[in-house]
Structure 1
Amino acid sequence: MTTATTASTRPKGGGTSAGRPAPAVRLRAGLAHGSPALLALVALAVIVAIAAAIQPGILSVTGLSLMLMSAVPLAFAAQAQMIIMSVGDIDLGIGNLVGLVTVIAATLLATDPLLGFGMLAAVLVVYALLAVIVQKRGVPSIIVTLGMSFVWLGIGLQLLPTPGGATPEWLTAIGSWRSTVVPPPLVFVALAALAGWWITRRTRAGARMRALGSSAATLDKAGWSAARTRMTAYVLAAVLILVSGLLLAAQTRSGDINSASNYTLTTIAAVILGGGTFSGGRALPVGTALGAVTLGLISVLLSLVALPSSMQAGAQGVIVLAVLAGRIVTERFSR
C-alpha cells in the first residue's frame, strides 16, 4: 500500500517533489523557446570573432560600421519577409522591389519628388491588391509575388537601364551619418528589430496575423476578417521593403535594379535562421534581425579570408546550411 501511494504521488515527467520541473525539463523548455535566436547570436559571435582575429581593427566603431553596413537594408527586408511568412505566405518579389526602390530614389525622388513618392505609395496599393488575390482567389503567394517580381524588374529597367543616377541630398545624408560612440548600422538594425517587434507583438494586427498563419479557422471564429488581416500584413511588409530600398540607395548613393537580387532567398533564410517557420503563425523579430546580420557578415568574412569570388557563393551556401542544420539539432534536443 505504501509503495502504491508513493508511486502515485511521485511527480511525473522528471519533476521535483516541490512540483517544479526538473532541471533537464527546464533546460529543454528554455531551448524550445530561446534556441533559435540564441543559435543566430552564437553564429554571429563566431563570425565576428573570426573576422576580428584576421583583422583586429574590425572591433573599432569604424570597423564595425564598415562591416555591418551591408546588413542594414537586409535587416529591414528580412522583417518584411517575416511578416509575410507569419501569415503563412512567402514573398518572392522582395529582391527586385528593393532594387526598384533604389532606382526610384536615384531618379524620380531627385528630379520629381512628387511623382517618386507617388510611385512608392502605389507599391503599398499593389501589395494590398496582392493580398486580396491570395485570400479571395486562392492563388498561392509564391506565384503572385514571383509574377510581380518581373513587373518590378521591368519598371526598374525602364526607369534606369544601367546602374547610376544620384540620390537626393536628404537621403544621402542618412547614408553618410557617422558616430564615434556607437556604430550607426547597429542603430538601424535595432530599429528594424523594434519595428518588427512592435508590429507583430504590440498591436492587435500582429496578433491577428499570427492567428491567421497558425489557425485561420480560429481567426474566423473570433470574428476577424482574414482578408483584412492579410492585407494589413502585406501593406506593413511593403512599408519595410520601401525603407530597405531607401537605405540601400542611401548607402550606394545610386540606383540599380539588380542591387538586391539576392535578398529574396536571403531574407527567407534569415527568418528561418532566426526561428521562423514556413507554416506561419510565428514571428521572431530579434531572431530575424540576428539572422539577417549573420548572413550579411558571411560575405564580409569570406572576403577577409581572401576566398576567390568564384567560390564565395558556394562557401556562403555551405555556411548557411551548417547554421540551419545546427538549428534542427537544437530543436530536436529541446523536444
Structure 2
Amino acid sequence: MAKKITVKDLLANTRLKIVTGEEYLDREIVTADISRPGLEMTGYFDYYAPERVQLMGITETSFAKRMSRDELLIIARKMMGSTTPGFVVSTGRELPPEFMQAAAEAKIPVMATELTSSQILSNMTYYLSGKLAERQSVHGVLIDIYGLGILITGDSGVGKSETALELVQRGHRLIADDRVDIYQQDEEHLIGEAPAILKNLMELRGVGIIDVLNLFGAGAVREHATVAFNLHLAKWEKDSEFDRLGNGEDKITIQGVDLPRMVLPVQTGRNLAVLIETATKNFRAKRMGFDATATFNQNLNHLIEENSHTDA
C-alpha cells in the first residue's frame, strides 16, 4: 500500500522553505496532482480540487495585484479547504497578505522557492508520484548490476541471498533482500525499493542478518532502481526443460507492466553470480541491437543454404 506523506516530507525532499505555518506541517498529502489555481483567482470554483497542494506563480500573484483586498480575502478563504495540504509560491514571489491571513486562519502552511513554477511543479510531482504510488510486494532480491535493476526470484532456499551477497562482493549494489516493494513509475517502467524495516539488510542462513552498508560501505547499497528484467532461479531437475538459446519471450506482469523474464537453472557447480552478470550484459547488448541468438540463426541459415547449393 502507499505510504502516508505529510507536508513535512514534501518540505524535506524538494527545494522548498517554510514561510509560515511550521506548526501545521503534519497535514497529509493524498494526491500527487498539483493545482495551479488561475481560474479560481477569478472566482470560478466549479472544478477546484482543495485536496491538492496549491501552487501559485508569477501569473497568479500578478493577477492578485489587480484585485481589491476584500476580493482577495474572499477568494483566499474559499481556497483554504479543510483538506488543503499547503500553499507553495514559486519564482521568489510572495503571497498577498490576504492569502497569508486566510492561511493562518485555516492553519495551512505556506512554502516558497526561488525555482520557477515549472521546475518546482516537476520536483513535487516526481517526489509525490513515487511516494504515493501503490506498492506490490514481491518475494525476491533486487540488485543493481551494471546500472540495471535485476529482480532475482526463486523458490525458498534456492540461494537468492547468497548469490546476491557474492554479487555485492563483486562490486554490485544491493537494493532489497527477501522482499522488494515495486511501484509503477509510468506505463513502461517499474521502480523497486526495500521496505523500511529491511533497508540495507540481508538474511543469510546459518549467519543471520547482516548490515550490508556497515560491512561493505555506502557503495554496496542503493535506495531504489528501475527494474530492468526478472531473473528466476529454478532448481534443476532431470526432466526439466529450459530455453537453451535464450530467444524466448517469457514475461511477467507487475503493476500492469510487462517485465522480461529469464529462467536460470540452479545446479551444483554453476557459478550463479557470473551467470547473472553475463545474463545482464547480454540483456543490455540486446537492447542495443546486438543479439547473439539472431546472429547464430543467421549463420545457421547461411550454412544450410551453402549445403543445399553444394548438394544440388
Which bracket does the TM-score occupy, shorter chain normalised?
Answer: under 0.3
Structure in which a larger fraction of residues adopt helix: 1
Greater relative contact order, per chain length (Cα 8 Å cut-off, separation 6+): 1
- Please report the TM-score for the alignment, with normalisation by the length of structure 2: 0.19
> Larger Cα Rg: Structure 1 or Structure 2?
2
